[in-house]
Amino acid sequence: MAEGVQARAAAVTMLNAVLGEGQMLADLADPALAPADRARALRLAQAVLRQLEPADRALKPHLRKVPPLPVLNILRLAVVERASGAAGHGVVNAAVEIAKRGAKTRHLAGLVNAVLRAVPEGPLPGVQKLPRWMRQPMVHAYGREAVAAIEAVQAAEPPLDLTCRDGAEVAEGVALPTGSLRLASAGQVSALAGYAAGGWWVQDAAAALAVRLLAPQPGEEVLDLCAAPGGKTLQLAAAEARVTALDVSETRLKRLEENLARTGLKAQVVVADALAWAPEGRFDAILLDAPCSATGTMRRHPELPFVKDGSEVEGLVALQARLLDRALCWLKPGGRLVYATCSLLPAEGEDQLAAALARHPGLAVERAEIAGVDPGWWAEGGGLRLRPDYWAEAGGMDGFFLARLRVPR
Q: Strand 268-271 and strand 221-225: pairing?
A: unpaired
Q: Measuring CA to CA, which residue among 240, 233, 182, 243 is closest to residue 211?
A: 233
Q: Measuring CA to CA, which residue among 41, 32, 49, 58 is closest to residue 7?
A: 41
Is 342 noted as a catalytic residue in this protein? yes
- At residue 234, φ and ψ (nearest 5 deg) are -65, -40
**Can you list the alpha helix ranges (DSSP code H) found in 143-175?**
144-154
Q: Measuring CA to CA, which residue among 377, 373, 357, 355 is closest to residue 365?
A: 357
The DSSP output letter for 126 is S
Alpha-carbon span 77 to 138, nearest angstrom:
29
Whole-number Cα distances in Å, 134 to 281, 309, 340, 393, 400: 40, 9, 19, 24, 15
Beta carbons within 8 Å of 212's beta carbon, 6+ residues apart: 178, 179, 370, 371
> Is the C-alpha dihedral spanning 335, 180, 161, 49 positive or negative?
positive
Question: Of residues 164, 226, 292, 342, which has the active-site annotation?
Answer: 342
Q: Measuring CA to CA, which residue among 255, 288, 251, 248 is closest to residue 270?
A: 248
Please report, to the nearest 10 degrees, the dihedral formed by the alpha carbons of residues 216, 220, 223, 227 taken in order.
50
Q: Strand 174-175 and strand 181-183: pairing?
A: antiparallel
The DSSP output letter for 378 is B
Other CB atoms within 10 A of residue 354 CB: 17
Catalytic residues, which ones?
A: 342
